[in-house]
Amino acid sequence: MSTSSTNNNNLITDCLTSEPVTEPVHSSPKAMEETKNNIMQKVTPLIQELDMQVVGVRLSQLELYKEIERLSAELQLCQDLPEMPQVSDGIQRLQNLQKRIQTINKTLRVVQDRLNRVANINNIQ
């Protein structure tokens, strides 16, 4: 686990285990701005780390998709040869895997877009 992951996990644990605020909160503009800045300061590294991990997963998925595509094409060529065993089941499974990977990639794109929007909101404010 990286140092930033450990720090982020500690940050989450600290937030979850900290004492609840029992005093009334006075919402002056300055206090509101400080609170917003504190929250963004703690959330931004988490968002950045998650974004980097999503990018890594998307790259891995792309490599896997290309390899499945290559293997599927090779199996398709082998299927037409008379001395080769039937590989149509394998081809069908690879095609199903391709569809699942495409679906996962679409989901990852949506997640990354949402993370980018949150990061942009942080930059705007």
pLDDT tens for each residue of 96-107: 888 888 898 889
Report pLDDT for 113: 87
d(CA 69, CA 81): 19
d(CA 73, CA 98): 12
pLDDT tens for each residue of 4-42: 555 555 555 555 555 555 555 557 888 888 888 888 888
| pLDDT score of 3 more than 80 | no
Verdict on whether the full-model pTM lies above 0.85: no
pLDDT tens for each residue of 50-85: 888 888 888 898 898 899 888 888 877 777 666 666
d(CA 2, CA 44): 17
Report pLDDT for 15: 52
Backbone dihedral angles phi then psi of residue 18, each to the nearest 5 degrees: -70, 155
**DSSP letter at 18?**
S
